[in-house]
Structure formats: C-alpha cells, structure tokens
Amino acid sequence: MAKDERDYEGPYVAQGELGATNCRYKVKIITDGTRTIAEVYSKEQGDANPIGVGHAVRREGDKQNPTIGVGLATGRALVNAGQSYLGVVEEMLEQ
C-alpha cells in the first residue's frame, strides 16, 4: 500500500518552555489514494510500536483529495495517542 509514504516531524515545545520536558513525536503517513493510515510514534520509544493510529477511507463517489484523507487519518491518530496517554496517566494517579 505504500504508494506515497512520508515522515512528518512537527515542532515541539522546547525544554523549559511551559515546564515541558523534551518530548518529540513523529507521524508516519501511508496512502494509496483511496486509503490513508497515520501512525504516531514517540521519538523516545522509536518506531517499534505506534502510540496512536488513525485511518481514513475514500468512499465510492468521493473526489480524490489527499489533503482530506491525510487530515482525517492524522487527526484520528493524534486523538488515539492522546486517549492512550490519558489512560496511562489516570492509572498512575490511581496508585
């Protein structure tokens, strides 16, 4: 399916800004024009397992617009990663 595969590395909050640590993430986009998958990886954990995954599928009759597919898949992957992290933090608080 890897017709178009790109790695995006976004900006991050620098250490010391807003009291943040140096956390960096990578979003990997894989698309074939009909299906798009976005995977979020923690730079500290490497590319072994994504911390969030999102999908988008073009339905029959939809115009081909890669920007929409990439946006939907990326947004869903970021939500998935956020929910995963929130669960981990909530478990830590319960201890």
For the whole model, what pTM was predicted?
A: 0.71
pLDDT at 2 over 50: no
Taking 70 as the threshold, does the pLDDT of residue 19 lie above it? no
Q: Which domain holds residue 23?
A: 4-94
Q: Which one has a higher pLDDT value, 43 or 61?
A: 61
Question: What is the number of structural domains in the chain?
Answer: 1
Q: What is the pLDDT of residue 81?
A: 93
For the chain, what is the mean pLDDT? 81
CATH code for position 82: 3.30.160
Q: What is the pLDDT of residues 69-94, one digit of tens each?
A: 999 999 999 999 999 888 878 888 88
Contacts 24+ apart (CB under 8 A), 63-69: 64/33, 64/34, 66/4, 66/31, 66/33, 66/36, 69/31, 69/35, 69/36
